[in-house]
Amino acid sequence: MPSSLDARQVVEPLVGRTIITPTEAKPNQILSVNDAHVIVGTGDSPTGKRVALAKVQEGLDHLTEQGEVRVTPEAFGGYRRSSAIGAILATLPGVEVSDSPTYIRLAEHSFLRDQLSQACDLIAGKRESEKVVKSDQLHQMIAQQLPTTVRGIVADETSYRVSGSAGQMNFLWAETAWVAIFDRLITESAQRGYYIVYLFHPRGESVFLSLNQAVTEAHGKAGAGFQDQLRIFAAELQCHITGPDRQGLLLEPIKLDAKGYRSRGYEIANVAAIRYRAGEIPHDTVLVNDLQRFLRLYEQVTSGLAETESASGIDAGSTKPGLESRRYGWHRRAEGRNTAIAKRAKQIQGSCCQVCLRDFPEEHGKLGKACTEAHHLTPFSEMDSRPRQLDPAKDFAIVCSNCHRMLHSETPPLSVAALADRLGIER
């Protein structure tokens, strides 16, 4: 079976990293990647030597097809840069390195593959009950076992939430079971926003790894026209996946052979996907690499979307190009796009404005709650990428909407203490 590992996609995330050759344990630094080569810095050549991407691809193909590749020049037709290729292959997830002679091998166990395969088998089989029950193996796999495995691969519970569902407890089974990864700054629920998701064919024939959208939210906003809304937003997000990043991806509606509106929505809502056929699901080396690729795509499209949204929001400034607009977009998301973070900050810190000291909910009840906002304390001008560590107790200040706007009246934003001082308020 041909490798679904692409040399460029494997190497580009390594740029700037030091990797170790498995043969002599020497450090190599990945300096850059061009059309045909990866430039690798070594001890005797710190400015870099060229390693052919075609030879890296050869190693990837051999590894996934044969299960192992020996790291010697002879294994690559006498190619002298085999040690650098071995160092690159050794960074892949789910591989093992043996010594004397040196081999890169696929690990014997492949937990994600086995669980995805088992889930397909369970979906194709007979349910224990017509309704979802805790004891059913499918529920346990989709809601517990697979999310645990995926959570371990993502390895960032601060930034991402992982959950799965085969249907609501004590109700009929969902037509399409799913396991999703939510960027907490965008959404923590399959009912809103967009997210990475494993979508299982209703007959267990395949599973899609998809960047997809919340069908429930679109249906609630557009009613009968929800499919058009999903198509439009899918196309908007796809605009931020360009060039080589599109290679090997399904950028059209996926096929779940669905009947229900939600499953049909998943088909149309697809932004980008990879399909794994049941019985042909690859080793974790491929699966984990694909998932890591989708995490990068997730951040990439969100950064691109942030640029197009930067003209709106609490800041009174105009559209900001490039990195500055992305920083502004992340700042907006940290402060309220995902309301769960802001809500938690309010629960911990209370509702009193930390600038003017007025407690609008106390003064005006339900109406006053609308004036209470969570202000992210790290200025967006200092962000190079999405904020990854968000502590609702330490990273936010609770302020009223008027003070919040005044905090953002300057760039970088005023500190809470500085604004209080300007207003002559003793804190």
Contact (Cβ atoms closer than 8 angstroms) between residue 154 and residue 384: no
pLDDT tens profile 230-269: 999 999 999 999 988 999 999 999 999 989 999 999 999 9
Domain boundaries, the chain: 7-106, 111-305, 322-422
pLDDT tens profile 320-341: 445 555 565 566 666 654 456 7
Query: Using 50, 70 and 90 to split pLDDT, how confident is the model at 385?
Result: low
pLDDT tens profile 353-368: 999 999 999 999 989 9
Q: Which pLDDT score, from 0 to 100, does residue 354 have?
A: 97
Contact (Cβ atoms closer than 8 angstroms) between residue 377 and residue 418: no
Q: Which pLDDT score, from 0 to 100, does residue 378 have?
A: 72
For the chain, give the number of residues.
Answer: 427
pLDDT tens profile 103-145: 999 999 999 999 999 999 999 999 989 999 999 999 999 999 9
**DSSP secondary structure, 188-201, as one string:** SSTTSSEEEEEEE-
Number of H helices, E strands in the chain: 16, 14
Looking at domain 111-305, its CATH class is alpha beta
Cα(26)–Cα(386) distance, rounded to whole angstroms? 33
Closest CA to 290 of 63, 6, 36: 6
Contacts of 5 (CB under 8 A, 6+ apart): 60, 63, 64, 92, 285, 286, 289
Contact (Cβ atoms closer than 8 angstroms) between residue 307 and residue 325: yes
Contact (Cβ atoms closer than 8 angstroms) between residue 98 and residue 86: no
